[in-house]
Amino acid sequence: MDKKFALYGCGKAGLSVALALKSQGYEVVGCDSRSLNSKEMGSQWLACPMIKIPEEVKENIPIMIGVSEDAIPDVDLLIGKGEYVSGRVVFHLSGALPSRSLNRCRLSGAKVGSLHPLMILPDPLTGARNLRNATFAIEGREQAVAVLKEMALSISGKFFIIPVKGKTIYHIAAVNASNNLVALLAESMYLLEVAGVPRSETGKAFQSLVEITVKNFYSEGPVQVLTGPVERGNLKMVEAHLRTLSKLPKSKEIYRILCLRALEIAGEKHPDRKKIYDELEKLLK
């Protein structure tokens, strides 16, 4: 497989991934972007010519699309026009959108895919460095997946494949693991404040607890790491928690839903506690 590609969209992600690939022996045959400024910057960072994509990209060279999600439909129309992309791999870097969002390219015969780096890419240099530790989520047509696997292997060696239909669920999972974890930690800080702990203390109060829980979660798994009133089957305590939260409906809802999820994990850990867990479930529903 030829280690070559072209880049459309010289933003933070496009340049970071392109730079990381270049450092692993890939050749960037050329770059293009909406603005001349970005195009020039791309050409300097990647030491490649400014070209017109797709017209000036030779056959069979993959095209990487590094534009923001809301621009993907426009860029899909631009790149997918005519016969230029027929038979070649065209892929984007979005975590939220499936490869099917490159519909015009697909109809023009491209093998579409997506390569989502699970990493923060704040600028090309830091981004390329961060990518050495990134895991890549890959999705798309078979030919695209083969090319994207090679790319992920050469940058960090870490990737997983998402079935084409699973991309949106994948993104929801990533939102839960990152954004919603932030929201949950903020909720804990809020409840500490409600409990009367000064705001200056709430930030660090749970830090060690959270860090050890996360570390153990990944070394031992959820079933081993789960403790607490739900896991112990302490009906009275959960009842008291729900009563206390009755004046804080949003907090009560968050607590209730998460306890129901914890109950499922607890059920795996202690099948012998089914009776008390069934009662807990009734209470929480």
Ligand X SMILES: NC(=O)c1ccc[n+]([C@@H]2O[C@H](COP(=O)([O-])OP(=O)(O)OC[C@H]3O[C@@H](n4cnc5c(N)ncnc54)[C@H](OP(=O)(O)O)[C@@H]3O)[C@@H](O)[C@H]2O)c1
Q: Which residues bind ligand X (CB under 6 A)?
A: 9-14, 33-35, 38, 66-69, 71, 74-75, 93-95, 116-117, 120-121
Least Å distance, CB 260 to ligand X, is 31
Least Å distance, CB 276 to ligand X, is 44
Specify the residue, 121 or 152, whose C-beta has the smaller distance to ligand X: 121
Specify the residue, 33 or 108, whose C-beta has the smaller distance to ligand X: 33
Report the distance separating Cα 75 and Cα 65, nearest Å: 8
> β-strands 135-140, 63-65: how paired?
unpaired
Longest dimension (CA), the chain: 70
Report the distance separating Cα 247 and Cα 214, nearest Å: 30
Q: How many residues does the chain have?
A: 285
DSSP E strands, 119-172: 135-140, 159-161
Report the distance separating Cα 244 and Cα 201, nearest Å: 22
Specify the residue, 7 or 226, whose C-beta has the smaller distance to ligand X: 7
Specify the residue, 41 or 258, whose C-beta has the smaller distance to ligand X: 41
Rg (CA), the chain: 24
Report the distance separating Cα 49 and Cα 53, nearest Å: 12
Residue nearest to ligand X (CB): 11
> β-strands 111-118, 135-140: how paired?
antiparallel
HSE-up of 129 (CA within 13 Å, CB side)? Answer: 4
Least Å distance, CB 93 to ligand X, is 4
Specify the residue, 8 or 255, whose C-beta has the smaller distance to ligand X: 8
Specify the residue, 44 or 68, whose C-beta has the smaller distance to ligand X: 68
Specify the residue, 67 or 138, whose C-beta has the smaller distance to ligand X: 67
Which of 10, 107, 21 has its CA nearest to residue 61?
Answer: 21
Least Å distance, CB 10 to ligand X, is 5
Name the residue type at position 182.
Answer: V
Which of 39, 13, 27 has its CA nearest to residue 118?
Answer: 13
Least Å distance, CB 99 to ligand X, is 12
Least Å distance, CB 150 to ligand X, is 19
Report the distance separating Cα 222 and Cα 199, nearest Å: 30
Specify the residue, 33 or 99, whose C-beta has the smaller distance to ligand X: 33
Whether residue 118 contacts residue 174, with contact meaning beta carbons closer than 8 Å, is answered with yes
Least Å distance, CB 91 to ligand X, is 11
Least Å distance, CB 136 to ligand X, is 10
Report the distance separating Cα 263 and Cα 284, nearest Å: 10
